[in-house]
Amino acid sequence: MELPQTTGLPLVRPYPAGRGSEGFVYGANFAVAGGCALSNAFYEAEGFNVTWEDYSLGTQLKWFEQLLSSPSVLAPNDALSKSLFIVGEMGANDYSSVLVGDNPMESARALVAPVARAIGAAIDALVRTGAKTVLVSGVFPLGCVPLFLTRFRTRNAEAYDPATGCLKWLNEFSQYHNLLLQRELRRLRRAHPHSTIIYADIYGALMAIYTSPSHFGMTSTLKACCGGEGPYNYDSSVTCGDPTSTLCSDPWSYVSWDGLHFTEAASQIVAHGIADGPNAQLSLDENVDLISCQS
């Protein structure tokens, strides 16, 4: 998400790269590709074969605590209260790890509540440390992502949204995650009335593109710009960068870059939707109902 550039701020320095140098005058970025909301210990206790490094929210919070105790932090004492904390999209990597297995919906749905609680615990820790303004992102429409469109491709026309071509049940699952997350944010707002906790609705921002692509200058919403063959230009055995992979001629007209990550063009649209207000919510409906997700 390109929110710093959208607001006129410089790129945020990655935490590992900034240690021992000029510090973090403009902030620190703790995000790691493939990072999950839940720890490896959680997955091991659930019987998963964990083969990835633990770059979960818990690990990132430990890095943040190390940063606060580092003498290289060149910032005033009130930096935390004047800073914007961004808890980016978390959960998609957790769900991806189980959506490729048997009983994908049941397995993924069982993770939603623990994922929402883990995000809530991280926000609570930030606020208790001194954060006053926290922007929290929901999850994106998983049913529109080429990786999942390829994985769950079906001849059943009823499975697809006729307006967008996205898988309905997976988008309903994304909404389920976002609703549980919003409930968690309401709880945190009550617990910390003197902090501002903002919900970033990237689901809504992206669905606007999928629904009306021409309005945003997009011509290809469901195909990957860089990837392999297939109806969605995605092949798990031919990832972007592979010698046999193909690259689209105009990435700025695509929503998906490599079948899972978004193009810079789509990211800019989402960032503007948050920075300019339509997709940044300071208050949440207390009476929303949870939807039923079925595969």
96-113 pLDDT, tens digit per residue, is: 888 876 667 888 999 999
Q: Closest by alpha carbon to 27, among 83, 89, 90?
A: 83
pLDDT value of residue 277? 77
Return mean pLDDT, the chain. Answer: 88
CA dist., res. 182 & res. 274, Å (int): 16
Q: What dihedral angle (degrees, nearest 10) is formed by the CA atoms of 93, 99, 102, 108?
A: 80
Sorting pLDDT into bands at 50, 70 and 90, what band is 118? very high
* Band (87; pLDDT cuts 50, 70, 90): very high
Q: What is the pLDDT of residues 2-20, one digit of tens each?
A: 555 555 667 788 887 766 5
C-beta of residue 201 within 8 angstroms of C-beta of residue 281? yes
Tell me what pLDDT residue 293 has. Answer: 36
Tokens of 97: 């790890």
Amino acid in position 32: V
DSSP symbols for 63-100: HHHHHHT-TT----TTHHHHSEEEE---SHHHHHHHHT
- Residue 73 pLDDT: 56
Q: What is the pLDDT of residues 150-167, one digit of tens each?
A: 999 999 999 999 999 999
pLDDT value of residue 291: 36
Q: What whole-number distance in Å separates Cα of residue 173 and Cα of residue 169?
A: 6
Residue 290's pLDDT is what?
Answer: 38
**Domain limits of the chain?**
3-203
- pLDDT score, position 280: 87
Cα 153 from Cα 100, distance rounded (Å): 13
Our CA angle for 244, 250, 253, nearest 5°, is: 120
Nearest to 75 by CA among 9, 125, 22: 22
Is the C-alpha dihedral spanning 114, 267, 11, 279 positive or negative? negative
- Mean pLDDT on 45-72: 87
pLDDT, residue 245, reads 95
Pairwise pLDDT comparison (85 vs 24), residue with the higher score: 85
Helix (H, G, I), strand (E, B) or coil at 239: coil
Backbone angles phi, psi at 189, to 5 degrees: -65, -40
pLDDT band at residue 21 using 50, 70 and 90 as cut-offs: low
